Amino acid sequence: MYLGGFIHRDKLFEIANRWLADDLQPNDSWDLTEIFTYEGFVSSRPARKFILDFFTELYGKEIHFKNVKFKHQVKEAVVNGIKKFDSRLELLVRNFKNHPEEYFPRAPFDGFLIYTDDDELVGMYRIKRARRVAEKVSRRMADNFLSHIKKNAENLAQRRARLLGIPLNMLMSSREEMVTEFEAAERQLSTQFSQGSINFRKEEIALHDVIGFKVIGDQEILARAESIIKARDSVNLDEKEHHKGSYNAVNFQLDLQLPPPGVIIDRTLSSINPPFPVRRGISYEDLLAGFPTYVESGRSDVKFEVILTDYDELVESEIGRSIHEERTLKQRKQREYTGRIAKNAEFIIEYLLSVAFSPKVDINFLPVKLLGHYLPETISYAIRELYDMEKSSIFHTVTF
């Protein structure tokens, strides 16, 4: 797990890699709590300032933000912001208003909507939730796992062909033999990973869109937006991607240079207030004491995503042909490899993120191993224990 929006992304990557190899170190849970507690203080203010300055320059008007907590609030704001209706938009809006429960209501959304002073919706800012991060990271890991498993399975088949004294292309395999070889290849991969002979490279599982914002406007506005971004000294444009088809937009991957560590430290320590960090198992005193070292030892930049889209395409992505939530579900169904190693990797990353947000900072056991067999209840039970929650038993106690 390599999250470009974090200044300690290398440390997080190292911990995640070790956990996949069932290597838990004594300070891991504390380090994870620090990372996910401090990072918001580090990047949120510089990102917000960049966005405010950017939109103010782009539109030449004052900008204000509206916090939202659920995706249906986003969809309603998009519908309310439509200026000119045609038959297509009328149909989409009518369906949305007549059947609101079919549009993924109450899905959580961490971010805010961006408006001009005359209440024109011109952008959005969002931070991906932990569950979505775990899912995206695990999908990339699964793709990587599959290539190694296929290679191991091919080597096993070649060995069987040699024992039979025939070329590999003449080897006839029953379904049972192929399943057995695939399972053996999975075991080989798990062993190779735990021994360190196979490792992920950062670029293979990098996720640079944890932080992101969307620019909404006509083609002239979007062209100006790109020019403004390129002219800014505080950002570097790393990557540009055009999406065409049912979903149409332009994506940028940006590198935002952060203020000097001293500036971040001084203004953050003067504004940190409980109880938010305390609920994560880190005391207020430890929070204040550890922050300067954390900032000074981290990277000086964070990566984030910018999406450029016009209003019609925005409507389509919220209530039309390319609804974001439906695209997410489709991605889940289209995974090529959904075997136990892929699922276990997702469980491990989900547990890692749960440890980071939980009140506990001293775990001594990982409940999921890469090659084990587990039910979803296993990880949900382990996560509930992190929060000292009821374990979902029908009866609290059973006595005879």
Q: DSSP states of 322-354 as a string?
A: T-HHHHHHHHHHT-S--SHHHHHHHHHHHHHHH
- How does pLDDT run across 178-204, given as a tens digit for each residue? 667 777 777 777 777 777 776 777 887
- Does a structural domain hold residue 353? no
The chain-wide mean pLDDT, for the chain, equals: 85
Structural tokens at position 350:
């989900």
Taking the C-alpha atoms of residue 260 and residue 110, their distance in angstroms, rounded to an integer, is: 27
- Does a structural domain hold residue 150? no
Taking the C-alpha atoms of residue 316 and residue 132, their distance in angstroms, rounded to an integer, is: 22
- Does a structural domain hold residue 72? yes
Contact indicator for 251, 165 with CB cutoff of 8 Å:
no
- Does a structural domain hold residue 390? no
Structural element, H or E, at residue 268: helix 261-269
The larger pLDDT score, comparing residue 188 to residue 365, is at 365
Tally Cβ neighbours within 10 Å of residue 89: 18
Contact indicator for 157, 168 with CB cutoff of 8 Å:
yes
For residue 262, what pLDDT is reported? 94
Helix (H, G, I), strand (E, B) or coil at 64: strand
- Does a structural domain hold residue 26? yes
Q: What single DSSP character describes residue 249? A: E
- Does a structural domain hold residue 198? no
Contact indicator for 12, 1 with CB cutoff of 8 Å:
yes
The model's pTM is 0.84
Q: How many domains does the chain have?
A: 1
Task: Name beta bridge partners: 257.
Answer: 301
**In the predicted model, what is the mean pLDDT of residues 329-339?**
72
- How does pLDDT run across 66-125, given as a tens digit for each residue? 999 999 999 999 999 998 899 999 999 999 999 999 999 999 998 999 999 999 999 999
For residue 372, what pLDDT is reported? 84
Taking the C-alpha atoms of residue 253 and residue 235, their distance in angstroms, rounded to an integer, is: 10
Task: Name beta bridge partners: 305.
Answer: 212, 253
Range of the domain at 298: 2-128+209-333
For residue 58, what pLDDT is reported? 94
Phi, psi of 8 (to 5 degrees): -110, 45
- Does a structural domain hold residue 368? no
The answer to which of 330-334, 344-348, 394-398 has the lowest mean pLDDT is: 394-398
- Does a structural domain hold residue 223? yes
Taking the C-alpha atoms of residue 352 and residue 295, their distance in angstroms, rounded to an integer, is: 22
